[in-house]
Every structure is written in C-alpha cells, then in structure tokens.
Structure 1
Amino acid sequence: MPKDPSVAVIGAGTMGNGIAHSFAQYGFTVTLIDISQERLDKALQTIGANLDRQLAKGTLTDTAKTETLRRIRTSTSLATGVADAGLVVEAATEDVAIKLQIFAAIDKAAPADAILASNTSSIGISKIAAATARPGKVIGMHFMNPVPVMKLVEVINGYATEAAVTDTVVALSRRLEKVPCVVNDYPGFVANRILMPMINEAIISLHEGVAGIEAIDTVMKLGMAHPMGPLQLADFIGLDVCLSILRVLHDGFGQPKYAPCPLLVNMVIAGRLGIKSGEGFYDYSAGVKNAKPSARFT
C-alpha cells in the first residue's frame, strides 16, 4: 500500500462525513460514497460548517479549509467510488445484513490489496470479514463521535486480520492525530461493552423511579467526572443505536445483564430517538444547548 492511500468512505451520515473530514484534513484524497446525492450534498455542507468552527477557533487556516474540501469528492456508485482505494472505511447503518451486503460488494470492486475497515461499534469483524474473499484484510476502525474532535480510534482485529493490516491502520490513525487502541473481536469490543450497560443501567434507574433525568446525569458528571451524563449521552448517540448495540451484546453473550431496559425499547418504538428526532430523555425543541428533560418524565 502507498504511504498515503486513497480513502473511500461509505455512508455520508454523521460518522461518515466526520471520517471523510478527518482524512481529508490530514492530506488524504477521499471519496465519500452514498446512494443519495442529497445526503452527500448535506454531508459536504456539514463538513464545511465544521471546518468553519475550526477556523473560528484558530485551529485551521483558510488555505487548509480550502485544501480539505478540495480533497473530498463524492459518488453515488460504490463500485466506482472504491475502484482505486487503498483503504475503504464503511460507516453505514449499524445493521448486520446491510454491512454484510456492503462488504461483499466492496470486496468485488476494490483493489485486491485494499484494506477494508468497518466503523461498526458492536458487530463482529470476523462475521463481516466472512462476507469477503479477503478476511485477512478486514479490520475494525471504530471512530468516536464527533470524529474531528474525539481522539480515540478503537482498532478491532478479526479472527483472520493480518498483523500488517493492523500495523497499517494504527499508523494511519496516528497520521490523523488519533490515539489507536487495538482490541480483539468480541461483542461490543471494549468501548461499548462497558459504556452501553452503564447507559442501560441509567435508563433502568429512571424507569424504576430511583431518580429523575437531571439527578442521574448530575451524579455521573459531578461524582464520576463524566463530561456528559449517561441519559444525555444516549440521546446524543441515538436511542435506536443504543438499543441495537445492547441487542448485539445480549445476543452475543446470552447474559441477562445486557438485556435492554423496556423503557428504551418503548422509546425507540415510539420514535423518541434523542437529538436526531428532537426528543429523547431531553427535549431539544429549544436547541441542543438549551435542552430540558422531556415533559413525559416530569
């Protein structure tokens, strides 16, 4: 693989546009791929707005902003978008069937020596790799949200991932000024295996009337030095995503401690998904910074 591989990012949502932003900012040519041109256009607008924030803070120059945007091209064709990529990072919906379908397609279209990485937060890398004819070149590259700001990259080795592939992904993460942590392929890996049961327990505490939303979040912020309380964090992640990850953990380990709280299940069924829907545990109708606990919990 060349020193600076061309990077393809599949999925133009929050994580995908953040990953594309980060690679482009650090000098990589990026193709951002999505089936919707509207989503791609929105992603470019988001990247531009995030670069403007960096500009306002003095962490980026006008020239760097222009060069970053110049390095990003878009495509609605997966086959065309990955055709010359040295690294493909999939950042699609956290759904097993969708990811398997995408990786089977990437495997057919990407160069034979390309590394295929998934930004999955919980789905097994070995399972994803089995959808390809190159399991040794499949790896997890789990970025944290917001990608341009958060330093951690959880690098997940599948059962067959080659050591050279791991070394390359670690080196590329460092090129982005990230801190890579190499972990092995078990449900939820490290980050979500620890985080999601905590969030779930916070939801159970609310469900059982132990305390209200603000009290639960304040205890964790002031008592445990968390920058954000678990219920607010769940809203930020997306309650549907939290539920999906908990189900992966529950199915993978078969232990009742990972069973999602019924309140979480009901909220997702009702479409109360957090910031993305305008209401979760908090009401975001007045803006994210002015969010108040949802009236349904008071």
Structure 2
Amino acid sequence: MSGKRDKGTGGNPWVNQPGPDEDQDEPEEQLPPSPWNLEVQPPPSPWGGSAGTGGHGDPGAPGSGPATQTSSAWGDKVGPPSLRRPAPAKKKGFQLPPLLIPIGAGLLVVAIVAVVLVALSGGNDKTSQNPPSTPMSTPTAPKTSYQPPPNAIPVGFGVSVVPAPGWTLYTKETAGKQVAVFPPNQAEGARAFFWVRQKRDVTANAYLLGIVEGETEEEITQLGAVRNLPCPKDVLVECVAIDYTSTFTKNGVETKVKGSIETYRRKDGVVTALDFRTNADFAPKAEADAAIMKKSVIDSM
C-alpha cells in the first residue's frame, strides 16, 4: 500500500455500472396509429362554454356532464337543453294540517248542538235576560189639611179649583179644567176664562213662556216682564208670573184683552199653571173673581 487511493479502472465502485447489453438502446416495436387514440373535439355547447371547458358544468373539467358519459351527444335518453327558462314551480295554497280537521269538525258539532239547545230553551226570550223595568211612579199629592168644598172641580195631582159665581165649566177643554163666564143668554163668546192645567218634569218659567206664546200667537201683544212670586206654601219651590195686553180682530170687530199667567212648581215636579184672560171692558169684575179662584187652587196644592 502506497497510501494513495486506488482509482481502479475508473468510476465509482459503489455504483453499479450497466452491463454491456444495457448500454445499447434497443428500438421499441412501433405499432400502427389507432383511430381511437386520436383526440376528438367535443361539439360546441349551446350554453356558451367553449369546447373543453365543461360548458355549463364544472369549469376546467373537459367534457364533464352526462353528454360525455354516454354514447349520445346529450347523454342516453336526454334531449338537448331547451333555451327557454323552465316554468316556476306552482306554489301550493294554504293547506289545513290533517290533525286540525277532526278538531274543527268536533267544534262545529258542539256549536250546532249549542244553537239547538238555545233555540229549544227559548233563547229569544228577552225577559230572562233583562229584568222588567220599574214603571214610573205617579207623583202623589202632599198631605194637606185643606178640604175642597163640594163644588170644587178636581184638576189632577190633588189640585182643584172652585169656580166663582156665574162661572161655568167649559166642557170643550180636555187638558186641565177651564171655567168661563158668558154674556147673559149666550153660550158662546166668553167674556173671560180661567184655565188650570198641569205638566210634569218642566220648570215653572219654561211652562209659563210656552203658554203665553200660544195664547197670543195671532195677536198684537205687549208682554210684561216675567217676575218671581213669593211661594205661598212650603211645598212649592218655584213660582213665577207674567202679565200682558193684546188686541185681536174677529169678524171685523177689534177686541182688547188683558191677561195674566202664574205657574207654581211643587217639590214632586208637578207644575200647575193658572191662565186668566178677559176682555178689557169686563176686566174689573173678572179680575175680582179670578183672585178668588186662584186662592182656591193654591190652597189645594
């Protein structure tokens, strides 16, 4: 050994060297070209993709889709794609859940039975629902020690009037009571009358104004002011009066009239009106008689 590395014949002893037969490349057997190995371009896609891009399918996946997986250009039993947009699926209307159908039928049967029972039990009878209304009570006359004389004419609610001598009941009047005085031997054309009538649930002032307007509706009238009267009895709560003069023409004859109206309202709501009216030429005698009759009415209240 000389201390130098023996290179041998050359090359690396740790690497297998090819044999003499492997250094020579033998030519492979050449086969004739096959028509099945030729590249076939796919037909153009109607969906806008170029050949080899997969058309409407996965981009970059050449020939993907059913058309490339079957012997048909568009796949087995698959027609060419239509250019029309597919019709939208019809939306189904509201459908009652099947579970609610028997429940609804049961409720309907219960409602029908209830209606039948109400009809049989007299459901339209309102007397069982609403209690009978209490009839309005009629005011009763307050207790008084006054005893009307036998010739007193009852008016209502305990009130009466005693006619003065020469005054008779005017039978044609239906509201309240009216007495009148006529000329001698005459049954028409009263020279004066005294009328007592009543009304409920109204003030004495309102009742007075309504009467005076009716009495002088077609006359030339001069009204005085409505004045308050001192109520002569504790049972009275409102007392008012008014005086007037008027003129009317009948059958070409002009007649002057004097009149007065007094109204008295009791605590029970009954208002009594004293309506006095006389020809001006008979006023002195009529006014004296009217004062007596007014007192009889007030005493009976």
TM-score normalised per structure 2: 0.22
TM-score normalised per structure 1: 0.22
Whichever structure has more helix as a proportion of its residues is: 1
